[in-house]
Amino acid sequence: MLTVIIGFLSGILGGMGVGGGMILIPAARMFLNLNQQSAQSLNLFCFIPSSLCALVIHIKNKKIDFKTAVPVILSGIPFAVLGAYLSSNMSSELLSRLFGGFILIFGIKEIVTGIKSPKNSTNG
């Protein structure tokens, strides 16, 4: 049941573009006792169907700028291969620390962005 809840939460976040891995990877480490490489591999494997569903919906709603997306995709492929090679050849502890640092930096960036440009709210 716990795996279904983890999958549900990461799928919802992934479909929204937030990144389901922010939930899935730490949850897989803590509750499923996977090492960092296995947790990240699981995240990438789960990302395929959820990203394809989100892609279909965004294409249908005309929310994708293909002139921007194609170069990003094409340049991302070789770096994804490089990242997979590097992560599979480093210790689980180092990879875990790097991932934690990434989450920390991302969280700080989001807080700073929110402080600099708060949403307009209406009273009443």
Contact between residue 43 and residue 19 where contact means Cβ atoms under 8 Å apart: no
Summary mean pLDDT of the chain? 86
Give me the pLDDT at residue 15, please: 66
Indicate the DSSP class of residue 65: -
- Give tens-digit pLDDT for 48-106: 887 888 889 999 999 999 999 999 999 999 998 998 899 889 999 999 999 889 889 98
pLDDT-derived band at 17 (thresholds 50, 70, 90) equals low
**Segments in the chain forming alpha helices (H):** 2-15, 21-31, 36-60, 66-88, 92-116
pTM of the model: 0.66
Give me the pLDDT at residue 118, please: 73
d(CA 20, CA 7): 9
d(CA 97, CA 94): 5
Q: Give the distance, in angstroms, between the CA of residue 12 and the centroid of all CA atoms in the same chain.
A: 11
Among 86, 104, 99, 85, which residue's Cα sits nearest to residue 40?
A: 99
